[in-house]
Amino acid sequence: MTALPADPPPVAVVTGASRGLGSALAGFLLAQGFEVIANARDRPLLERTARELTRDGGSVHVVTGDVVEEATQVAVSRAVERLQRLDLLVNNASELGPSPLPPLSEYPTRDLERVLRVNVIAPLQLTQRLLPALKAAHGRVVNISSDAAVAGYPGWGGYGASKAALDLISLTLAHELREAGVSVVSVDPGDMRTATHQAAFPGEDISDRPLPEVTLPFWAWLLNQDPARISGHRFRAQADRWEVPES
């Protein structure tokens, strides 16, 4: 009797995957059986992270480059084409902006343009480019947000504005792509002990913040939800409990 071919593993793209939340999430997805296309700017760090994540098996396909660059987006798209599917896109790469964080009234507009390019334009561009593969797989898009998007913290105006815009993009795409079977959510991961958070508080001790792995129970919960039911919602990964609001 001829054995039936095994189903191909699901595929995920994770940007900003060389460290912090991106690295933790890439490792989690590998453990769930995903093949991961990992993107970040720092080639040595990304390749070292990929080696560490695959010590116990799994496949990480490294795509180095700044996510705002068309060449990087094309390289990610080609990696997806080689694997012939895309089930999950995580737009995690983020730009904090100047450090120390300046007040918005003094924010250098050139720096703000860079923050908006990385945190708003690039996630939308990458989603647009990968949309055919996402539609074919009825895939999911997860955009990484922040509590700065809703709080108006002094000094966080540029970063917070970019994440607020990304939240609205997520909600709008969720409405527009519902009939195509593509789910879109935004996720605030909460305060974590990461290089980005340290840059926001230069010289301060942030050892009281949890490591990004604190969010892993949330990701396990999210992947087990009906994609259509959660689409359009915003979640806090470190909330006491996670619920899908009734529509």
Indicate which residues carry an active-site annotation.
159
Decide: helix, strand or coil at residue 232: coil
> CA of 209: how far to CAs of 182, 193, 212, in Å?
34, 5, 9
Distance between CA atoms of residues 121 and 195, nearest Å:
23
Give start and end residues of each alpha helix (H) in 138-186: 148-151, 157-177
Distance between CA atoms of residues 34 and 234, nearest Å:
24
Residue among 115, 91, 112, 99 at smallest CA distance from 17: 91
Q: What backbone torsions phi and psi does residue 196 show, to the nearest 5 degrees?
A: -65, -45
Cβ-based neighbours of 73, under 8 Å, separated by 6 or more? 67, 122, 125, 126, 129
For strands 35-40 and 234-236, give the pairing: unpaired
Distance between CA atoms of residues 19 and 34, nearest Å:
18
Question: Residue with structure tokens 């009734």?
Answer: 246
Take residue 235 and report the two structure tokens written for it: 């979640």
CA dihedral 34, 242, 130, 213 (to 10 degrees): -50
